[in-house]
Amino acid sequence: MVTISSQLPTAELQALDAAHHMHPFSTQEKLAARGARVITRGEGCWLTDSDGNRILDGMAGLWCMNIGYGRTEMADVAAKQMRELPYYNTFFMTTHVPAIALSAKLAEVAPGDLNHVFYAGSGSEANDTNIRMARVYWAQKGKPSKQIIISRKNAYHGSTIGGASLGGMTPMHEQGGLPIAGVHHIDQPNWWAEGGKMSPEEFGLERARQLEQAIHDLGEDNVAAFIAEPVQGAGGVIVPPETYWPEIQRICDKYEILLIADEVICGFGRTGNWFGSETVGWKPHIMTIAKGLTSGYQPMGASLVCDEVAAVIGACEFNHGYTYNAHPVAAAVALENIRILQDEKIVERVRNETAPYLKEKWEKMVEHPMVGEAKIVGMMGSLALTPHKESRAKFASEAGTVGYLCRERCFANSLVMRHVGDRMIISPPLVISKPEVDTLIERAWKSLDEGMAAAKKEGLWQAAS
């Protein structure tokens, strides 16, 4: 047996990693040449790497560490559940206490009549469930032609074949024969990049009305559902103009289609409410959850389903399921996560204290010479980088070149802040304190200064014509 301890020298760990571990969304060769950063510990909002550096995690892992790292209660609950019942399935007329308790709890915290839970191992799997559930729902109602799911370009709904098809990421569609049939994409409400000469308000309406146009073009009889993230996360934290969501809801009320809110990032407090749908005023029939459901302590996703859809699906045998549906350890950990969020009033603290504090500082970053737009909702924010603010110019270099330079400077300054193209994004743990917000802002500003200097030095300070 090979045992790898974090006491091995970093270079040895990196060499073994490069030799055997294939990384997601990475160019393996490039990563191997440089060596992956080895993360060894987490505490609150802070990571430690194998060289002993302490890094402020401005991304909450991958948008998921809502309660922060290092909560021993979570470990205790997992250990207790593993001793008692490490696994059982819920396929063959069986259930178990963690599944029962978590389902009841989710029905309590979810808005409206989203009272039913179909579990999955991840957000991607839950969205695969949603595709099938929406189509089976209409077939059961005698409308089998209602098959198409409308989604948005630059949306992220996961990386399985179904999830990536729902998503609107071109680089993903280019590999492996995606998207599957029956998915239609409309444009995203990204005013900064695509608004042209329209005001944000006009643009928000125009983009929302594309949904109505698509329903007309495809035929209402052929459309099963519309899926969207309340705030696009992986697409670059795209905050739509204020006119967008009310118009979407008006259109959704008018036509007979199901609404699926992908709350994998927005759920469990990220936007300052329990769910992003509450923040944007949207009433979905199905909600995708994952990430903050367990704060990343265990892999788990789920579809929250309204009374009516659950009743229709419940009248037939739904031929769908995963071995790890409602996994007892993950369910116990999710319950403990929700207990911590509730008992410590973490969502309220975000809404009333830390998010307003972060918002004030974050929006000031628009004064940085390279920042054209600074957007933030709750604990998810973005900065659009530009060589010319007035014209909202893109850089002449390939999208992401300057963003990458800035991200490299963040790395060097011990801050995790990601780039999506030439947008910088943050999504810190919800437990971040005001002094930690100050540190985040200081390091982000410094990294932008250095990134801008590097861009100038490399001749990249040029607007696209």
Choice between 74 and 228, CB closer to ligand PLP = 228
Choice between 121 and 241, CB closer to ligand PLP = 121
Residue 418 binding ligand PLP, by CB under 6 A: no
Stretch that binds ligand PLP, among 97-105, 119-127, 338-346, 430-438 (CB under 6 A): 119-127
| Segment 261 to 320, residues that bind ligand PLP, using CB under 6 A | 262, 264-265, 290-291, 301
Please tell me the distance from the alpha carbon of residue 413 to that of residue 59, in angstroms, as a whole number: 15
Q: How far is the CB of 89 from ligand PLP (least distance, A)?
A: 20
Stretch that binds ligand PLP, among 116-124, 317-325, 382-390, 406-414 (CB under 6 A): 116-124
Q: Which residue has the tokens 């047996």?
A: 1
Q: How far is the CB of 123 from ligand PLP (least distance, A)?
A: 2
Instruction: Say how many CA atoms lie within 13 Å of 313 toward its Cβ.
Output: 25
Q: What is the residue-wise DSSP string for 9-46?
A: -HHHHHHHHHHH-PPTTS-HHHHHHH----EEEEEBTE
Strands 148-152 and 114-120: what pairing? unpaired
Strands 148-152 and 223-228: what pairing? parallel
Q: Which of 69, 119, 138, 156 binds ligand PLP (CB under 6 A)?
A: 156
Q: Taking the chain, what is the end-to-end CA distance rounded to the nearest angstrom?
A: 58
Partner residues linked to 148 by β-bridges: 223
Choice between 128 and 422, CB closer to ligand PLP = 128
Choice between 290 and 410, CB closer to ligand PLP = 290
Partner residues linked to 48 by β-bridges: 41, 54
Residue 156: closest CA among 43, 62, 63, 234: 234
Choice between 234 and 424, CB closer to ligand PLP = 234
Binding mask 362-401 for ligand PLP (x = CB under 6 A): ----------------------------------------
The CA–CA distances, whole Å, from 214 to 134, 143, 151, 209, 219 equal: 18, 19, 10, 9, 8
Q: Which of 50, 103, 124, 295 binds ligand PLP (CB under 6 A)?
A: 124
Choice between 158 and 179, CB closer to ligand PLP = 158
Q: Which two tokens stand for residue 304?
A: 């929250």
Please tell me the distance from the alpha carbon of residue 152 to that of residue 161, in angstroms, as a whole number: 16
Residue 234 binding ligand PLP, by CB under 6 A: yes
Please tell me the distance from the alpha carbon of residue 399 to that of residue 391, in angstroms, as a whole number: 17
Q: Which of 58, 68, 158, 421 binds ligand PLP (CB under 6 A)?
A: 158
Q: How far is the CB of 2 from ligand PLP (least distance, A)?
A: 28
Summary count for the chain: helices (H), strands (E): 18, 15
Residue 233 binding ligand PLP, by CB under 6 A: yes
Q: How far is the CB of 24 from ligand PLP (least distance, A)?
A: 9
CB contact at 8 A, 285 and 260: yes
Choice between 150 and 290, CB closer to ligand PLP = 290
**Per-residue burial over 236-259, b = 16 or more CB atoms within 10 Å of its CB, e = otherwise:** bbbbbbebbbebbbebbeeeebbb
Choice between 123 and 403, CB closer to ligand PLP = 123
| Segment 253 to 272, residues that bind ligand PLP, using CB under 6 A | 262, 264-265
Stretch that binds ligand PLP, among 150-158, 215-223, 350-358, 433-441 (CB under 6 A): 150-158
- Name the residue number minimizing CB distance to ligand PLP: 123
How many residues interact with ligand PLP (rule CB under 6 A)? 16
Choice between 291 and 327, CB closer to ligand PLP = 291
Choice between 233 and 236, CB closer to ligand PLP = 233
Please tell me the distance from the alpha carbon of residue 76 to that of residue 339, in angstroms, as a whole number: 14
Binding site for ligand PLP (CB under 6 A): 63, 122-124, 156-158, 229, 233-234, 262, 264-265, 290-291, 301
